[in-house]
Amino acid sequence: MTTMATSLRQGLLPAFPVLWMACAPPSPPAEPPPPGADAHEGAAYEITEVRPGIWHAVGTGAMNVGANAAIVDLGASLLLVDSHITPAAAWVLLEELAPLTPKPIRYVVNTHFHFDHIHGNQVFGDEVEILGHQTTYDIVSSGGSVSGTAWDGFVATLPNQIAAIEAELQAAPEGEREEVAARLARMRAYQEATAAIEPIAPTITLDGKLAIYRGGHEIQLLWKGRGHTPGDVVVYLPERRVLITGDLVVFGLPFMGDAFPEWGDTVRRFAELDFELVLPGHGPPFEDRQKLLNLADYLDDFWEQARGLHAAGTSAEDAARTMDLTAHAPNFPGLIEGPGAPQVAVERAYRFFERSE
Ligand SMILES: [Zn+2]
């Protein structure tokens, strides 16, 4: 997951040429729209065909869709990577995808268990298989997508976030009221959509690798170690040299509230693959392999410093203030402006050291 502020910093607004924009007359799925699906104005997604038969769907900001998604043409059907943040967001994706391709979605991949990547699962019928790592199944089926660090930090605080925007609206000068009111409407629609969530776990799981051969292509689902979560699955399209990374690799700096110390090594294993395009779970697509290595170096440095500070008896609060990751600032423009590290990341590291989860 990522907060709204970091989404913006990570460049959630697309920078790539738009080959198709969701403005054609919608062909909605047969079921009535879920709560919160019809509150937005204009397209919720910018869907870009990044390679023939491969699309990247990025939220426009018109509604809260959470993470990016990717769609892969399988010949007679489609594979969707990540189902967004709510049933409403997934439903609207299908609505906006329909004018682009009439093919049905046959597989949904859950790259990991975070709420912003999987809570659209429930809009898909029994004929759609949901693929994910075994630990993703274990976590989601035991309620872990509607509890824990990511959920508590962002979704459980929704009433407070909405109250804060209501207060902001009260105090807003005339010229800013329209923007604040629109933001409030988006948050209320998101809250309504969130109330309709019934978490659905993967129906087919993998531990290391699963391959699908469809449409003359190979689609690999790969797990190469713990990282952003215990079960990060990356979708690799070897002939087309595309990696779809979920949050194991994002455009900027990732959320680290459920992270593992070996994350950097896991990313390096993926960096060894033959690819030329990365579709991340947040932020725009990119081609620079070095970004993976830069992220791995940042993660290793974070964990090494956290381990040292923890061993020295430094409190998590002090560690979050004093840790120095500024050496990586040139690799993450605008994201590291001085000493310190995200508190949620340090708290997670300390929990890991104390419990060896
Ligand atoms: Zn995530």
Instruction: Write the pLDDT tens digit of every residue in 259-285.
Output: 999 999 999 999 999 999 999 999 999
Q: Angle at the Cα of 130 (from 128 to 219), degrees rounded to 5?
A: 95
CB of 123 within 8 A of CB of 29?
A: yes
Could you state, in order of their start, the residue ranges of all structural domains in the chain? 1-206
Burial of residue 242 (number of CB atoms within 10 Å: 0-12, 13-18, 19+): buried
* Average pLDDT of every residue of the chain: 91
Percent of the chain predicted with pLDDT > 70: 91
Neighbouring residues of 177: CB distance < 8 A, sequence distance ≥ 6: 169
CA 353 to ligand 1 center in whole angstroms: 21
Give the span between the Cα atoms of 334 and 332, in whole angstroms: 6
- pLDDT tens per residue, range 328-356: 999 999 999 999 999 999 999 999 999 86
Q: What value does the mean pLDDT take over residues 62-73?
A: 96
Give the span between the Cα atoms of 188 and 166, in whole angstroms: 11
- pLDDT tens per residue, range 92-123: 999 999 999 999 999 999 999 999 999 999 99
CA 109 to ligand 1 center in whole angstroms: 14
CA 249 to ligand 1 center in whole angstroms: 10
Q: Write down the pTM of the prediction.
A: 0.90
DSSP sequence for 36-54: TSSS--S-SEEEEEEETTE
> The CATH number of 1-206 is which of 3.40.720, 3.30.70, 3.60.15, 1.10.3470?
3.60.15
| pLDDT band with cut points at 50, 70 and 90 for residue 22 | very low
CA 76 to ligand 1 center in whole angstroms: 30
CA 267 to ligand 1 center in whole angstroms: 15
CA 113 to ligand 1 center in whole angstroms: 7
DSSP, res 195 = H
CA 281 to ligand 1 center in whole angstroms: 8
Burial 51-77 (b: 16+ CB within 10 A, else e): bebbbbbbbbbbbbbbbbbbbbbbeeb
Give the span between the Cα atoms of 343 and 256, in whole angstroms: 10
Is the predicted pLDDT of residue 20 greater than 50, yes or no? no
Q: What is the pLDDT of residue 32?
A: 82
CA 14 to ligand 1 center in whole angstroms: 19
CA 170 to ligand 1 center in whole angstroms: 34
Cβ–Cβ contacts within 10 Å for residue 25, how many?
6
Q: What value does the mean pLDDT take over residues 169-175?
A: 94
CA 258 to ligand 1 center in whole angstroms: 8
Helices 290-311 and 343-355, packing angle to 10 deg: 60
